[in-house]
Chain A
Amino acid sequence: MKMNKKILAMLLAGAMLFASACTQKEPVTSSSESAASEAASSEAASSEAASGETDDWASKTGAKTFPAIAKEDLKIGFVYVGPADDGGYSMAHDNGRKSMVEALGLGEDQTMIVENVPETSDCETAIRNLIDQGCNVIFTTSLGHMDWTANVAREFPDVIFEHATGSTTGENMSTYFGRMYEERYLSGIVAGMKTKTNKLGYVAAMPVPEVIRGANAFALGAKSVNPDVTVEVKWLNSWYDPAAEKNLAIDLLNSGCDVIGQHCDTTAPQVAAQEKGAFAVGYNASTLDAAPKAYLTSPIWDWGKYYTAEVQKMIDGTWTSAKVWAEASTGIVYLDKLSDNCEPGTQEAVDAAKAKLDSGELKIFAGPLKDNKGVERVPAGSEMTDEEMWTMPWFVENVVGTALE
């Protein structure tokens, strides 16, 4: 009993100490909060001032043409969010690296990779280690690597940085991406024709605009051939998590979905579909072998041409930083050959849509479009701009799930 009282007393003492520590400092915040408007304006001013320096760097995007780097002096570092052999996203980048090395005839030791780099300060450490080991070009490949890449880029103005899927650019930092949503639309056609239950599942990484846009395109593609179809989106909160990817796919299949689409890094959802006797649209790479009975097709990344072209510019002395959202015509994205699991007539439907997309007759995010709460988002006769697509926070009408708005 005596001991218990002492423990209690200590806990209380601790709590009191904590409370007193809080109250001591409280006036500082409350006073600043009472002058909320003033605080807000000064905050805006200070953030402007802070971004004043960064703006200088950011506003110089594309301003400087970097001097040529002799081919044998190139040392290029790649930072991946998962393992290089993940069978998906990181593998697609690594295949791009390999084909770039081959196309340009670089030596074995002229590229370096770092795998499994989380979207934390570990990313900055990984980049600094690469520069320490002599890299003069850095490619980082996951959205959450963006800020860390920019931190280091500001510090090393002579090193060339390229970051995939982001929005930050600066004098020596490009961002690059491809119009994957067009291929997702086509893959939606494939899934929409295959489904019998009219319920598609979608294993999605995290609620960021890129993923929302992709799910919307998939849903609109499916709807174009099957007006009754809905797409249920579930969030993983991770890009790479094979076990969770599989579990989420199983959840969706159990709830009646018979075709699974995905925006995550591995083939786990396709394997889950095969085990349940259902079908799947993959992502990133051609993965028929992973689930031969379930695989329909995949929207695929081919980074090799982009990497080769960029590094060639560095060799030629014509590289400048830029914001790149490459068209499908550059070959950076394409739809895999349809497997024999697809419904008859799918190829024709895909080809017809592809032709319309290429000619500009078909715009995926053209009005009238409503979100899944019934609010009109794009009026008839207009279409979304690149900027609007880039920041898309809502789901289209036939998506079941919660986006940002």
Chain B
Amino acid sequence: MIQIVKRPDPSKTQDLLTRLFAVLCALVCASLLMAALGYNPFKVFGNIFIGSTGTLHRIRETIIKTIPLAALSLGVAVAFKMKFWNIGAEGQFYMGAMAAAWVAFNFNRLPMILMLPFMFCAAMLCGGLWALIPAFLKSKFKTSEILVTLMLNYVAVKWITYLQYGPWKDPKAAGFAKMPKFVNAAVLPKVFGVHIGWIIVLVLAVLVHILLNKTKFGYQVSVIGESEYTARYAGISVAKITLIAVIIGGGLCGVAGFMQASAIEHSLTDQLSAGLGFTSVITAWLARLSAPAIIVVSFLFAALLQGSAYIQTAMQIPTAVAEVLQGIILFFVLGSEFFLNYKLVFHKNAKEAA
């Protein structure tokens, strides 16, 4: 008979060792799959590494993929910290991108120095307000924020699709459903060959870190996360803190949408997120909601994405295999989470023991 027993809080070394072991298991398992499909696993992993960091172009591409993922993960982490399970990063991302695009399309004579901050603020506000809907419904009707945030993602994407095929369609595109390009003033400039989103996201990470760890607000968020009753008892205004944290989290996701629309797409499409909003839930969790760790984990994940794109062309490995590879790694790393918090106790025979 097997029993599941809760562990006491694991030590830091235990924590790290378990995670490393999980990654190792994932690599072994993925290697077996590679070998079964007829690819040399060492070559595949080597190529993922080369493909994500081998040339200046690849490092830049990896960083470009890191930026939105990190910003989204930061947004998710703020809400997760108080156990508000926001799975709606995708939707908040799109609403942020939409607000930024609205500014870019309607105020196209602004100089860049006004345009970009305006887009930033609009995106943050719109992403935040979108996140406010599930928070409001939760406090008013006790709805599950997991379901509401998840479903609002689809509402947001379909709304963007409507705009793209309807009112915001570029009339010059001869029937091809795309939105117009942003004016140059609405495009984030580059520093060292990568758009300044990388600076924005680093600053945001520092701010989030300070906010969550060094301020009274951050402390209150943690207390709410541990126990709402304790928080109430301690005189914390749970509703107020929750709403502010949710707006900040949604706002950060909205900023990710702004950066992607401005710097990468120079426009808005209903495929802008490439699913990163969902990936960010995983990266935030893997980073244990710590802002510095989010940057590192997002970079590693971006490297995996970029490396997968590389092996697809370099080794003619189908995209599906690259995706399975990512899935295996996630499966093991997230699985290790379980073993960190619980242990299995094997009894030879339950009756004998009794």
Question: Is B269 in contact with A208, judged by CB distance below 8 angstroms?
Answer: no
In chain A, positions 335-350 with a C-beta closer than 8 Å to chain B are none
Question: Is B239 in contact with A77, judged by CB distance below 8 angstroms?
Answer: no
Question: Is B118 in contact with A25, judged by CB distance below 8 angstroms?
Answer: yes
Distance in angstroms between the alpha carbons of A208 and B176 in the assembled complex: 6
Question: Is B271 in contact with A118, judged by CB distance below 8 angstroms?
Answer: yes
With a CB–CB cut-off of 8 A, which chain A residues contact B230?
none
Closest to B184 in A: A50
In chain A, positions 59-108 with a C-beta closer than 8 Å to chain B are 77, 83
Query: Given the interface contacts A122-B274, A391-B174, does A129 sit within 8 Å of B310 by beta carbon?
Result: yes
Distance in angstroms between the alpha carbons of A133 and B175 in the assembled complex: 35
Check A278 for interface membership: any CB of B closer than 8 A. no
Question: Is B309 in contact with A29, judged by CB distance below 8 angstroms?
Answer: no
In chain B, positions 257-275 with a C-beta closer than 8 Å to chain A are 264-266, 269, 271-272, 274
In chain A, positions 367-405 with a C-beta closer than 8 Å to chain B are 391, 393, 403-404
B186 to nearest A CB, angstroms?
13
A-B contact pairs, 6 of them (CB 8 A): A3-B139, A77-B313, A129-B313, A130-B313, A207-B175, A393-B174
Distance in angstroms between the alpha carbons of A116 and B308 in the assembled complex: 14
With a CB–CB cut-off of 8 A, which chain B residues contact A275?
none
Check A243 for interface membership: any CB of B closer than 8 A. no
Question: Is B125 in contact with A144, judged by CB distance below 8 angstroms?
Answer: no
Check B342 for interface membership: any CB of A closer than 8 A. no
Number of A-B contacts (CB under 8 A): 103
Chain B: interface secondary structure? Answer: helix
Distance in angstroms between the alpha carbons of A6 and B135 in the assembled complex: 13
Question: Is A125 in contact with B61, judged by CB distance below 8 angstroms?
Answer: yes
Distance in angstroms between the alpha carbons of A114 and B311 in the assembled complex: 10
Check B6 for interface membership: any CB of A closer than 8 A. no
Highest count of chain B CB atoms <10 Å: which of A120, A125, A128, A393: A120
In chain A, positions 19-53 with a C-beta closer than 8 Å to chain B are 21, 25, 28-29, 32
B253 to nearest A CB, angstroms?
16
Question: Is A133 in contact with B310, judged by CB distance below 8 angstroms?
Answer: yes
Distance in angstroms between the alpha carbons of A118 and B271 in the assembled complex: 8
Question: Is B272 in contact with A120, judged by CB distance below 8 angstroms?
Answer: yes
Closest to B176 in A: A208
B56 to nearest A CB, angstroms?
9
Query: Given the interface contacts A14-B129, A28-B109, does A7 sit within 8 Å of B176 by beta carbon?
Result: no
A175 to nearest B CB, angstroms?
14
Segment at the A interface, from B205-213, B314-322, B346-354: B314-322
Supplied contacts A7-B243, A11-B136, A132-B55, 11 more A-B pairs, CB within 8 Å: A10-B243, A25-B114, A83-B319, A114-B313, A115-B319, A128-B57, A133-B314, A206-B175, A207-B175, A208-B176, A391-B174
B-to-A contact residues, CB < 8 Å: 55, 57-58, 61, 106-107, 109-110, 114, 118, 121-122, 125, 128-129, 132, 136, 139-140, 165, 174-178, 239-240, 243, 247, 264-266, 269, 271-272, 274, 309-310, 312-314, 316, 318-319
With a CB–CB cut-off of 8 A, which chain A residues contact B110?
25, 28
With a CB–CB cut-off of 8 A, which chain A residues contact B274?
122
Q: Of A115, A116, A132, which is within 8 A of B58 by CB?
A: A132
Query: Given the interface contacts A6-B240, A7-B239, A114-B313, does A132 sit within 8 Å of B57 by beta carbon?
Result: yes
Check A353 for interface membership: any CB of B closer than 8 A. no
B297 to nearest A CB, angstroms?
22
B59 to nearest A CB, angstroms?
11
Check A4 for interface membership: any CB of B closer than 8 A. yes
In chain A, positions 173-212 with a C-beta closer than 8 Å to chain B are 206-209, 212
A191 to nearest B CB, angstroms?
24
With a CB–CB cut-off of 8 A, which chain B residues contact A237?
165, 177
A-to-B contact residues, CB < 8 Å: 3-4, 6-7, 10-11, 14, 17-18, 21, 25, 28-29, 32, 77, 83, 112-116, 118-122, 125-126, 128-130, 132-133, 143-144, 206-209, 212, 237, 391, 393, 403-404
Distance in angstroms between the alpha carbons of A206 and B165 in the assembled complex: 10
Highest count of chain B CB atoms <10 Å: which of A113, A132, A403, A404: A132
Query: Given the interface contacts A7-B239, A133-B313, does A209 sit within 8 Å of B175 by beta carbon?
Result: yes
Distance in angstroms between the alpha carbons of A112 and B317 in the assembled complex: 11
B119 to nearest A CB, angstroms?
11
With a CB–CB cut-off of 8 A, which chain A residues contact B318?
115
B248 to nearest A CB, angstroms?
12
With a CB–CB cut-off of 8 A, which chain B residues contact A125?
61, 309
With a CB–CB cut-off of 8 A, which chain B residues contact A132?
55, 57-58
Question: Is B109 in contact with A32, judged by CB distance below 8 angstroms?
Answer: yes
B240 to nearest A CB, angstroms?
6
With a CB–CB cut-off of 8 A, which chain B residues contact A118?
271
Question: Is B313 in contact with A6, judged by CB distance below 8 angstroms?
Answer: no
Query: Given the interface contacts A25-B118, A28-B107, does A121 sit within 8 Å of B312 by beta carbon?
Result: no
Distance in angstroms between the alpha carbons of A403 and B269 in the assembled complex: 22
Question: Is A143 in contact with B313, judged by CB distance below 8 angstroms?
Answer: no
Distance in angstroms between the alpha carbons of A77 and B61 in the assembled complex: 18
Query: Given the interface contacts A11-B132, A21-B118, A208-B176, does A29 sit within 8 Å of B314 by beta carbon?
Result: no
Distance in angstroms between the alpha carbons of A7 and B129 in the assembled complex: 11
Distance in angstroms between the alpha carbons of A392 and B86 in the assembled complex: 47
Q: Of B118, B139, B178, which is within 8 A of A144 by CB?
A: B178
Question: Is B310 in contact with A21, judged by CB distance below 8 angstroms?
Answer: no
Distance in angstroms between the alpha carbons of A14 and B95 in the assembled complex: 15
A402 to nearest B CB, angstroms?
11
Question: Is B239 in contact with A114, judged by CB distance below 8 angstroms?
Answer: no
Question: Is A7 in contact with B118, judged by CB distance below 8 angstroms?
Answer: no
Question: Is B175 in contact with A14, judged by CB distance below 8 angstroms?
Answer: no
A256 to nearest B CB, angstroms?
27
Question: Is A208 in contact with B107, judged by CB distance below 8 angstroms?
Answer: no
A64 to nearest B CB, angstroms?
25
Question: Is B107 in contact with A29, judged by CB distance below 8 angstroms?
Answer: yes
10 smallest CB-CB distances across A and B, nearest first, come from: A207-B175, A3-B239, A208-B175, A132-B57, A112-B313, A121-B265, A121-B264, A404-B175, A120-B269, A208-B176
